[in-house]
Amino acid sequence: MADNLLSIMTFFPLVGMIALLFLPRDNDAMLKSFALAVSLITFLISLPLAFDNVFKTSGGMHYREFYEWIHVGEFFQMNYNVGVDGISLWLVMLTTFIMPIAILSTWNAVKKNTKGFMAMLLLLQTGMLGAFISLDLFLFYIFWELMLIPMYFLIGIWGGANRIYAAVKFFIYTAVGSLLMLVGIIFVYYYAIQSGAPVSGFGVQEFYQLSIPYSAQFWLFLAFGFSFAIKVPMFPLHTWLPDAHTEAPTAGSVILAAVLLKMGTYGYVRFAMPLFPEALQTFIPFLAFLSVVGIIYGSLVAMMQDDVKKLVAYSSVAHLGFVMLGLFALNMQGMAGGMLQMINHGISTGALFLIVGFLYERRHTRQISEFGGLAGKMPIFATIFLIITFSSIGLPGTNGFVGEFLALMGAFESNLRWYAVFATTGVILAAVYMLWVYQRIMFGKVTNPANENIKDLSAREIVIMAPLLLFVFWIGIYPNTFFDKMNPALEQLLQQINNQQVAIVEVVQPVVANVLDTK
Amino acid sequence: MYGNLWLIPFFPLLGAIINGLFGKKIKNEAVIGGIGTLMIFLSFLVAVQNFFRLIGDTVKVHEIVLASWMTVGNLQVNWELLLDPLSAVMILVVTGVGTLIHLYSIGYMHGETGYYRFFSYLNLFAFSMLMLVLGGNALVMFIGWEGVGLCSYLLIGYYYEKKSASDAAKKAFVVNRIGDFGFLCGLFILFWALAGHGVWTINFVEIAANAHLLEAGGALITIITLAFFLGATGKSAQIPLFTWLPDAMEGPTPVSALIHAATMVTAGIYMIGRMNILFAMAPSTMMTIAIIGAATAFLAASIGFAQNDIKRVLAYSTVSQLGYMFLAMGVGAFSAGIFHLMTHAFFKACLFLGSGSVIHAMHHAYHHAHLHDDPQDMRNMGGLRSKMPITFWTFLLSTIAIAGVPFFSGFFSKDEILWWSFGSTAGHPIFWIIAVCVAGMTAFYMFRLVFMTFFGAQRTDPRAKDHIPESPWTITVPLIVLAFLAVVGGYVGVPKILGGGNHFGNFLAPVFGPAQELYNLNAHGSHALEYTLIALSVCIALFGIYMAWLMYMKNPALPAQFTAKFAGVYRFVFNKWYIDELYDFVFVNPCKRFGTFLWKIFDVRLVDGIVNGCAWVVKGVGAGLRYTQTGYMYNYAVAMVVGVVVIVGFYVFG
């Protein structure tokens, strides 16, 4: 089993989805239980990865699987080439971990065409896992696009009032980015073949060894970077996010925040940064600037929202700004902080969307002004919301702090020092908008009669939140569980980025001209 | 040998967890309060044990590593504690005063619906504060630093149904976060600066040992220390970040006593003390600290003149006294600053608890008479001396202590600060003049408070005035103990000139020794001069008391005449120099407007305008081109002919 663990894990949800299609369509409970079981089994399958100590000692790819897939002579070769290292490991775990939670959250929320909903969720999971484990760029692209479709339907069919607009906006934004990336992928592939490098298909690890000249790197980084920046999303390409989040059903929002946004940041870490390290240097000041603007911008706009879900969506823009800034620091503290912040954002913001979902299920509104004084009515909810709020603010002892702290520390150590100073103001703004919304929802007297009989969390809802709370504190108090396995891979990545910059000096200019000609 | 140090923060944490999880089921107030108080008392016992161990020990600095926290690249952070004379003093103050305030709360909070919640938070606060003072590196300290901020938020907002309470809680946390921004920046720059010399550390002992690598007086160390100082102004309520503390009085009174007087607000002083060597190496920062401290002391004291809410007077008094401590730090009187921190903890905790006892009684009386008067307004009090003798006497003794009357604790600590502010190498007569003025003002407004509350005629509503009781023993016992400490607490640090051995300063010497080499008293400061200055400051304090007596006892019509005559000044001071309004105008409102602008204009109009615009263009072009797809054969034929003609024409004539 261990030989094919990644494949089994990735395609189990797909198999589950197909099986699901044969179940009776009007038995809601059965459909939901089945999907939950599939996602739980997927989680169990992935669990050995988290406990494998090989990641502590070696930063390379493990659990490799390699099968030749589509070979059209020299002209086009792609392989089924997968593996995980300490970087993708935790994103894979986050995905398998969050999925059962997302499915549990739909229990009372989704009533319309449950079968389709569950099928989409499971298909989405295969897409996400596949993207994280792909070591072949073309394979990555297939999974990347595969994620797009179920998400489009999740928003477009099960979304809120303005769902069509949001779904189309989401789709077009992402599709534009994807196309640019596709062009970039093809370019890299033909460059590799032309330069006579020993490549097998679109193997990204072989591509790492290419010395792509700067002039080409520049445009390639732009293509990849643009595509990933949309997904992150980086300012000013973020405007699809508030709409998508607001309109998406709770489960969709949770997955979108927890995993899908990480595709963008992961794309930078795995592809854009190590493949084009020299261009990266050119773009870093610009990207760091956008990250910092995103932090401040996202926070200020979040502060003024009257729709709680939009507020959380804008806070994502700010949080992801910290991630990106940390990554661009290009040192261990920054990268590890950025990586951890990806996980943290998945947990904290995922939890926040669940919390918004709890409120929405009870009151069918997301307007902050509709609430107020809930603390007395829902003490358990109040406590959990408070913990998550402070985790999102980044209180030491919770997960948010460790990630933010290291990302900022890394940025201070690099030559992004001034950016980091401005980014650090984000810790003030986060407190402003989160505490304000908490106050408006939870504190004061109950003035709206509709809140008079509002119920506290049910056992199911507590079960949903419990694992998230566990990791809020686990990561906050003992993040080394995660760093131990992340560090070797990050060290290798950093070496990769730095070596390439040295090697790039001996550029073979004619090859580029060649490639450009053939295009 | 100091292996049980971890128990000190552990006990209150345990208490917080027990009451937090099961308090609601326990229900019994005695059990809940008992658990809370017992836990902090156990901490106190362990603290005492370690304190005496340390006194008998030749090695004065002990680091205890509990576990690793985060290991990334060259950064290695541990869960580690640090016991040295400075932290030893602090844990005694925190657990000692903390125990008394927990005990007090058992009676004071009687009947509250959130009784268990209160004790859980209070224990959590004690845990955080102990982590803050015991933290062996900047991050463990920061855990405590933010943890006390969290508990402060929770406890100020304890009456969360009150808008003013939840506003105050939020304000406290956000303003503190501005300070935290400074703390973090300072820490980041410090880490980077030391890393440049190959030292990767945030451990306090290692920082102190490697501080010499940085250029003394250089720009870098000045920026680092200024950033840390910004953090201190947030936590310790100094200019420009002091505005949250008066609002924080929305919390229950024991909270004001423990958090907003005795312990948390001193964290900024403690932090400077902890990193004294860095600050000592940055003279510009030291001067800034001294100036801010003196200015805050004056500003807050002036506002204290005009407040009628008993707790608000004490709040401004706290801000003012903290200013004193910063002044001390700024002129290099590190151990004097910590000394005043300790004596202030005694008398100010006693004053707050005393005011709580009064409020408790007033509340009881009003409740009995079914009235809704403000139980905190001193204009409704007066003549309580006979009704509440224990509260009165303890309050009076503490007031004498804070006023700086000779041979009470505040006298010793304050005079050491005064002397340093005059005679230190970083001192200046102007500092002394301001500090002495503030001493006089303090004496005035504190005795104004005493006279308005306890003396004169009873101004309480007649229906309630006979129902004002003395408080129960759980309240009076802490008062008595604290008043005792407020009287005698200064004798551990009687300066040499007054015939003492300055044991306190000697005990702290291992911590402040290196910094003290950079700052010392001027050699030319003669004994005669020092005696003169002491006499002067005592006279001014007595004059302040006399003025208060004149205005509020002898001739109660005077204050009204004064306020009428100086109406402008009075309004200015009464409205707290309009600083809250200024901040709203300059920071808060523009930020909100800017946020709305970014959202409604930038996001919705501009970015989405472009995005939707692109969609419209594509749609429009598509809609236009649609008409060419008519489906009629002859249309296509015409198009083909035209096309052929154009192409042929291009080749023939082109």
Q: ipTM of this model?
A: 0.88
Strand partners, B63: B82
Check CB contact under 8 Å for B71 and A480.
Answer: yes
Check CB contact under 8 Å for A333 and B71.
Answer: no
Mean pLDDT, residues B384-399? 90
Set of chain A residues whose Cβ sits within 8 Å of the Cβ of B170: 435-436, 439
- The pLDDT tens digits for A78-136 are 889 999 999 999 999 999 999 999 999 988 887 888 899 999 999 999 999 999 999 99
pLDDT value of residue A227: 93
Asked if residue B642 and residue B497 are part of one domain, the reply reads no
Domain-ending residue, one of B513, B547, B573: B573
Mutate to test the interface with A, among B188, B192, B601, B618 (most CBs of A within 10 A): B188
Alpha-carbon span A248 to A312, nearest angstrom: 13
Among A185, A160, A162, smallest CA distance to A248 is for: A160
- The pLDDT tens digits for B88-107 are 999 999 999 999 999 999 98
Q: How far is the alpha carbon of B143 from chain A, nearest alpha carbon, in Å?
A: 5
Asked if residue B585 and residue B565 are part of one domain, the reply reads no
DSSP state, B213?
Answer: G
Asked if residue B648 and residue B563 are part of one domain, the reply reads no
Tell me the C-alpha to C-alpha distance, in Å, between residue A219 and each of A181, A212, A216, A223: 11, 11, 6, 6
- Distance in Å from the first CA to the final CA of chain B: 100
Q: Does residue B477 fall inside a structural domain?
A: yes
Q: Does residue B13 fall inside a structural domain?
A: no
| Residue B558 scores a pLDDT above 90 | no
Asked if residue B639 and residue B551 are part of one domain, the reply reads no
Asked if residue B561 and residue B597 are part of one domain, the reply reads no
Taking the Cβ of residue B234 and every Cβ of chain A, the question of whether any pair is shorter than 8 Å is answered with: no
Asked if residue B307 and residue B416 are part of one domain, the reply reads yes
Among B18, B36, B34, B273, smallest CA distance to B132 is for: B273
A111: helix, coil or strand?
coil
Question: How much is the mean pLDDT over chain B?
Answer: 88
Mean pLDDT comparison of A55-59, B122-126, B601-605, highest-scoring range: B122-126
Q: A–B: how many Cβ contacts below 8 A?
A: 134
Asked if residue B507 and residue B626 are part of one domain, the reply reads no
| Residue B141 scores a pLDDT above 80 | yes
Alpha-carbon span B128 to A395, nearest angstrom: 12
Q: Does residue B596 fall inside a structural domain?
A: yes
Taking the Cβ of residue B592 and every Cβ of chain A, the question of whether any pair is shorter than 8 Å is answered with: yes
Q: How far is the alpha carbon of B211 from chain A, nearest alpha carbon, in Å?
A: 18
| Residue B454 scores a pLDDT above 50 | yes
Domain span at residue B335 reads: 287-352+388-441+460-573
pLDDT value of residue B110: 86
Mutate to test the interface with A, among B70, B192, B197 (most CBs of A within 10 A): B70
Q: Quote the tokens at residue A350.
A: 């995922």
Mutate to test the interface with B, among A432, A433, A478 (most CBs of B within 10 A): A432
Among B145, B157, B596, the residue with its CB nearest the CB of A304 is B596
Q: How far is the alpha carbon of A205 from chain B, nearest alpha carbon, in Å?
A: 24
Q: Does residue B112 fall inside a structural domain?
A: no
Q: Does residue B25 fall inside a structural domain?
A: no
Residues of chain A with pLDDT under 50: 504-513, 515-516, 518-519
B554: helix, coil or strand?
helix
Check CB contact under 8 Å for B595 and A303.
Answer: yes
Alpha-carbon span B124 to B132, nearest angstrom: 12
Check CB contact under 8 Å for A443 and B195.
Answer: no
Model pTM score: 0.90
- The pLDDT tens digits for B207-228 are 989 988 988 888 999 999 999 9
Alpha-carbon span B542 to B536, nearest angstrom: 10
Alpha-carbon span B43 to B9, nearest angstrom: 7
How many structural domains is chain B composed of? 2
Domain-ending residue, one of B522, B541, B573: B573
Q: What would the DSSP string read from start to end of A357-376?
A: HHHHHHHS--BGGG---HHH
Q: Does residue B185 fall inside a structural domain?
A: no
Check CB contact under 8 Å for A439 and B170.
Answer: yes
Compare B593 and B49 and report the one with higher pLDDT.
B49
| Residue B197 scores a pLDDT above 50 | yes
Domain-ending residue, one of B573, B596, B627: B573
pLDDT value of residue A380: 92
**Burial (CB count within 10 angstroms: exposed 0-12, middle 13-18, buried 19+), residue B499:** exposed
A307: helix, coil or strand?
strand
Contact call for residues B42 and B7 (beta carbons, < 8 A): yes
pLDDT value of residue A471: 95
Among A324, A84, A93, smallest CA distance to A205 is for: A84
Asked if residue B503 and residue B408 are part of one domain, the reply reads yes
Q: Does residue B261 fall inside a structural domain?
A: no
Check CB contact under 8 Å for A375 and B160.
Answer: yes
3-state secondary structure B624-651: HHHCCCCCCHHHHHHHHHHHHHHHHHHH
Mean pLDDT, residues B294-299? 94
Asked if residue B493 and residue B407 are part of one domain, the reply reads yes
Taking the Cβ of residue B587 and every Cβ of chain A, the question of whether any pair is shorter than 8 Å is answered with: no
Q: Does residue B332 fall inside a structural domain?
A: yes
CB within 8 Å of chain A, chain B residues 151-190: 153, 157, 160-161, 163, 166-167, 169-170, 173-174, 177-178, 180-181, 184-185, 188-189
- Distance in Å from the first CA to the final CA of chain A: 44
Alpha-carbon span B342 to B348, nearest angstrom: 10
Alpha-carbon span A56 to B70, nearest angstrom: 15
Mean pLDDT, residues B494-507? 81
Asked if residue B312 and residue B437 are part of one domain, the reply reads yes
Q: How far is the alpha carbon of A168 from chain B, nearest alpha carbon, in Å?
A: 10
Asked if residue B594 and residue B504 are part of one domain, the reply reads no
Q: How far is the alpha carbon of A245 from chain B, nearest alpha carbon, in Å?
A: 15
- The pLDDT tens digits for B506-518 are 888 888 888 888 8
pLDDT value of residue A519: 40
Q: How far is the alpha carbon of A499 from chain B, nearest alpha carbon, in Å?
A: 18
Asked if residue B395 and residue B301 are part of one domain, the reply reads yes
Q: How far is the alpha carbon of B88 from chain A, nearest alpha carbon, in Å?
A: 24
Check CB contact under 8 Å for B592 and A439.
Answer: no
